[in-house]
Amino acid sequence: MRHIQCSGEGTIEMKGISALIINTGTELLLGRTVNTNAAFIAGRLSELGINCYRITCVGDNCGRLKSEIERGLKLNRLIIITGGLGSTVDDITKETVAEAVGIPLVLNRELEKSIKIKYGKSGRARSSKEAFIIKGSILLKNKLGSAPGEIIRKGKKLIVILPGVPNEMKTMFPELEKFIRETLNLRRSIFSLTVKLIGLREIEINECIKDIFERSVNPTIALTAVPGEVKIRLTANTEKEKVRRLIRPVLNRLKREFGDFIYGYDDDTPEGLLIKALMKNGMTLSGAESCTGGLIAKRLTDIPGSSAVFAGSAVTYSNGSKSALLSVPPGIIKKYGAVSRESAARMLAGAVKLFGTDITYAVTGIAGPGGGTRDKPAGTVFTALNIEGRIIYGEYRFMGNREDIRRQTADMVIFGILKEFK
């Protein structure tokens, strides 16, 4: 890993409306249902300029839910609760919210009638529970089900209850967003930018920009990492026209510190950017793979239209296939090993002859967990690139399990080619 020198700068304070998201249902706590509602709601709140203070899951327990609501009202202007609005005994959200805010439930005759019409005989059982609403609440129509959503005012605070069924909840959101914008007089926006890097460790990045972590409140900065890749997320909260201006100084700092390692932003992928670069420059690509087993080719061909620039990759996993398909001399393999710079060089030469493209890559390594030696442990990888006749070799020691090592190898090969276009 390459080491870097660091400088220091500061930023400013973050303000705004905060929200609590409560997702109810014992099935969430048992891991039987994936909580997609939380991600959807948090994303939509972000677009509205509302800070998601906390996301919590609560089982079908009235006491625990009431406690979360009461605590949430002390800290947040908005609480959104999903689930527990149905007709069964364990659907307790409405009753619990009513108790928490001290407002009674009342029968809504119009809702009761519509449920009976919609569901016939079974509507009678449904209406006996679902037709009760919190007194004074604003109803959100359920176009896909029977239980409506509700907006409850508690002084200057808002509590919103929505169905737990994702499709039902999502259809209510446009109406809810309009109400929130108008009621809370939202003028701010939350803008998030993810900066993606390959080739640096999380601890190196953290040490270099720790002054930003310590002093920055708006924009905030956060790191996430998987083996071989680090993502730096910048999040700013301010008036819409000022958002990008607020983020720009921190982004410029990141570019100065880590420019050689930044490959893209937000939804960018190394392979997607590489295919675009090849198309833009009218160049072609091919390769030869051993330890990655075709993973590099797979990622490149996941990109629509890649056939215009990517000729293919020879997957030569065994020593015999290296010799048969790429003309790697058995003597080279015997003397230096299949995992060596010399074997990578011969694989590259064979792929250049086979495909005849502008750029060619070759990779050989030990993905593990077995197969390593003291001199060449699992994670040892040799790469070779031919960029229009210019040869570049690489040797790496990747950490992690078999999947991690293969992914890091593919990342490094693709990123290594991509850097040539910068």
Check residue 123 and give its pLDDT: 52
Contact 144, 167 (CB under 8 A): yes
Check residue 216 and give its pLDDT: 81
Longest dimension (CA), the chain: 88
Check residue 356 and give its pLDDT: 98
Q: Count the alpha carbons within 13 Å of 57 in the hemisphere toward its beta carbon.
A: 16
Distance CA 86, CA 94 (A): 10
Distance CA 385, CA 49 (A): 46
Sort 352 into a burial class: Cβ within 10 Å, 0-12 / 13-18 / 19+.
buried
- Mean pLDDT, to the nearest integer, of 285-293? 98
Check residue 70 and give its pLDDT: 96
Q: How confident is the model at residue 10 (pLDDT cuts 50, 70, 90)?
A: very low
Query: Is a pLDDT exceeding 70 seen at residue 387?
Result: yes
Amino acid at site 325? L
Check residue 236 and give its pLDDT: 86
Of 147, 161, 175, 177, nearest to 44 (Cα)?
177
Contact 273, 258 (CB under 8 A): no
- Count CB-CB contacts under 10 A for residue 288: 32
Range of weakest confidence among 183-192, 205-214, 305-314, 326-335 = 183-192
In this structure, the dihedral spanned by the alpha carbons of residues 397, 403, 409 and 415, taken in order and rounded to 10 degrees, is -130
Check residue 49 and give its pLDDT: 81
Distance CA 379, CA 372 (A): 8
Query: Is a pLDDT exceeding 80 seen at residue 8?
Result: no
**pLDDT, tens digit (0-9, with 9 covering 90-100), for 357-368:** 999 999 999 999
Check residue 114 and give its pLDDT: 86
Distance CA 285, CA 301 (A): 12
Q: Please list, in sequence order, all residues whose beta carbon lies within 8 angstroms of the beta carbon of residue 419, skipping any fewer than 6 positions away.
A: 260
Domains and CATH numbers, the chain: 18-184 (3.40.980.10), 188-265 (3.30.70.2860), 270-421 (3.90.950.20)
Range of weakest confidence among 144-153, 176-185, 340-349, 361-370 = 176-185
Of 48, 60, 53, nearest to 21 (Cα)?
53
What mean pLDDT value characterizes the chain? 91
Check residue 14 and give its pLDDT: 39
Query: Is a pLDDT exceeding 50 seen at residue 48?
Result: yes
Check residue 353 and give its pLDDT: 98
- Mean pLDDT, to the nearest integer, of 29-52? 91
Residue whose entry in the numeric block shows the structure tokens 């919210």:
97
Check residue 121 and give its pLDDT: 59
Distance CA 83, CA 92 (A): 9
Query: Is a pLDDT exceeding 50 seen at residue 12?
Result: no
- Mean pLDDT, to the nearest integer, of 153-159? 94
Check residue 213 and give its pLDDT: 85
Check residue 192 and give its pLDDT: 84
Check residue 112 and give its pLDDT: 87
